[in-house]
Amino acid sequence: MAGDKIFVGNRGGLLAPLDHKTGKPLWRLLFWGSSVESDPVVAGDVLYIGASDLRRVSAIDPKDGRVIWRTDIYGWGWSRVAVTENRVYAAALGSTANEIRHLGSLCALDRATGKIIWRWPTPECPNSLYNGFIAGPAIDGKNLIIGGTDGALYCFDLS
């Protein structure tokens, strides 16, 4: 929820803010060919959200649904992103058992442009269809902490 809007996404690829009093959609944005499974994060005047098969994180104007930028993170962006003053941190889940290759990783994006600043690819998990991250990153001071599908807890120094 942001202001008087409740943001919802669905497996049909629709993102819409609902008026908190009436429940009526205020605008609609379709993510063609992709589910919208990530929780949205509103920071400042921008909504940030991941998408499934679209493999992207998007920055969207929450007032009208205008896409500010979209960045391919090379994997399923199912989890909630973490946002700081200058960065958006996005986790991606990977799998080699898909027609479209998805790569597990953690990405740091420039908050203003969406450009990838750095990307840490996760190793593939032996005997598993998946690798990378399903959980969203959490930031504690100057550290980013995230759990991987390999059962490891990762900590990245952001200073």
Domains of the chain: 5-157 (2.130.10.10)
pTM of the model: 0.93
pLDDT for position 54: 84
- Is residue 144 predicted with pLDDT exceeding 90? yes
Bridge partners of 66, per DSSP, are none
Cα 14 from Cα 86, distance rounded (Å): 28
- In the chain, what percentage of residues exceed pLDDT 70? 99
Our measurement of the distance from residue 116's CA atom to the centroid of its chain's CA atoms, rounded to an integer in Å, reads: 13
